[in-house]
Amino acid sequence: MSDFIKRCTIHTYRSLFPNNIKNKGIVYFINIIHIIGVIFIQLGLFMKPVYIKIYIIYLVFLFVTYILLNNKCFMTIVSNYFSEANYNMLCIKMQQAKTVLGIYLILAIVFYMNPQIAPYTIIKSLISK
């Protein structure tokens, strides 16, 4: 497993910050925004329940763009356009990524509808004790 993580990390880093491309500054900036979006996907479930609505909208937006763009991330397409190269930042299959996003979306809806079980609420109550 650690070998996979190491290979995935190297692949992702090289895809996000390639050396021999056009418009390197713009591409790096786009890919930093891309990283922020991925961090938001990973940590969005920990937001205050009232803000999880934004997270749900973001995940639905991603699913819609995957459908419209033939299973490609819109940020990857923009980055590839400016770099005039064809990089794939994912080191897992798109179906696996969509499954994870689907699970996050279901959890987000549950947490939004039941804020008392949202991670933010639970962590806040544990800290305040």
The pLDDT of residue 54 is above 90: yes
What pLDDT digit, counting tens, does each position of 81-101 carry? Answer: 999 988 887 788 888 999 999
Q: What percent of the chain has pLDDT over 70?
A: 99
Q: Of 4-8, 35-39, 68-72, 106-110, which range is least confident? A: 4-8
Question: With contact defined as beta carbons under 8 Å apart, do 41 and 101 qualify?
Answer: yes
Give the type of residue at 54. Answer: I
pTM above 0.75, yes or no: yes
Q: For residues 75 and 34, is the Cβ–Cβ distance under 8 A? A: yes
Q: Calculate the average pLDDT of the chain.
A: 92
Quote the pLDDT of residue 5.
82
pLDDT of residue 15: 86
16-30, pLDDT tens digit by residue?
898 889 999 999 999
Side chain identity, residue 16: L
Residue 1, pLDDT score: 64
What proportions of the chain, in percent to the nearest 5, are helix, strand and coil?
Answer: 80, 0, 20
Given a contact cutoff of 8 angstroms between Cβ atoms, the answer to whether 5 and 85 are in contact is no
Which of 1, 127, 101 shows the shortest CA–CA distance to 45? 101
